[in-house]
Amino acid sequence: MTPASLQIWILQALEAAGAVAAGVVRAERMSVPDEAHAWFAAGNAAGMSYIKEHLTLREDPENVMPGVRSILCAAFPYDVKSPPSPPPAIAGYAMGEDYHVRVRRVLETVAKQLNERIACRWRVCVDTAPLPERHLAVQAGLGFIGTNTCLIVPGVGPNVVLGELLVDLEITPTEPAPRSCARCNRCIRDCPGGALSKDGRLDARRCL
């Protein structure tokens, strides 16, 4: 299979597996943006110091899987099977089956199907490895980052969970997504803890 045909197959396989958006990025070294360092310096991370400790690891996918050449990114909808509960409500992503288990199962199935077509090494990551998931998702064309700091998938919204499949294959990358947040500031008004700012920063100290 060629890099282009691999892209077509993997996107179709992920869509068939339930992904509402999927894309491919080259596994290249990335630099941590200054905004991330400023966010930590302002104390916005609250008690999540482990994220800062892993910042440099996030710069290079080789730290997650040596020999990786492509990263397949996929967004899946929340597993919500019942109407939302009245406030104070359970977060939508926490309802239904644990998304770590659900998304990992799907991506591992796709990885095994891919390996049947062309031998490869692979690793599945679902919020369990030092990868800049939202950045990769934007670069893969899944969506854009809204003022709420979440990935927003056009036509779907922010109610998605992300997963990545790292492979040692060259796969033609998809195009990055243009930023198109409407800047309506509804997320800022609706945030119960007042944790969001107009410049797109989240203060985890105020996040419920």
Mean per-residue pLDDT over the chain, rounded? 87
Where are the domains positioned within the chain?
3-178
Please report the pLDDT score of residue 58 as a whole number: 81
Please report the pLDDT score of residue 192 as a whole number: 81
More confidently predicted of 41 and 158: 158
CA distance 186 to 205: 20
Q: Is the dihedral of CA 13, 18, 20, 21 positive or negative?
A: negative
Residue 187, pLDDT above cutoff 70: yes
Which of 65-74, 79-88, 126-135 has the least mean pLDDT?
79-88
DSSP the chain: --HHHHHHHHHHHHHHTT-SEEEEEE----PPPHHHHHHHHTTTTTT-HHHHHTTTGGG-GGGTSTT--EEEEEEEE----SPPPSSSPPPGGGSSS-HHHHHHHHHHHHHHHHHHHS---EEEESS-SS--HHHHHHHTTS-EE-TTSSEEBTTTBS-EEEEEEEESS--PPPPPPPP------HHHHH-TT--B-TTS-B-TTS--
- Output the pTM of the full model: 0.87
Which residue do the tokens 């969970």 mark? 161
Q: Does 127 qualify as catalytic in the annotation?
A: yes
- Which of 60, 79, 98, 127 is labelled catalytic? 127
For the stretch 2-30, pLDDT in tens is 999 999 999 999 999 999 999 999 999 98
Give every strand in the sheet of 160-167, ordered side by side.
21-26, 70-77, 160-167, 122-125
CA angle 31, 36, 38 (to 5 degrees): 125
Residue 35, pLDDT above cutoff 90: no
Q: How far is CA 91 from the centre of its chain?
A: 18
Please report the pLDDT score of residue 174 as a whole number: 98
User: pLDDT exceeding 90 applies to what percent of the chain?
Assistant: 53
Which of 70-74, 106-110, 113-117, 203-207 has the least mean pLDDT?
203-207
AA letter at 82:
S
Please report the pLDDT score of residue 32 as a whole number: 67
More confidently predicted of 191 and 23: 23
Closest CA to 160 of 148, 178, 173, 175: 148
More confidently predicted of 32 and 176: 176
For the stretch 101-155, pLDDT in tens is 999 999 999 999 999 999 999 999 998 888 989 999 999 999 998 888 889 999 9
Please report the pLDDT score of residue 114 as a whole number: 97
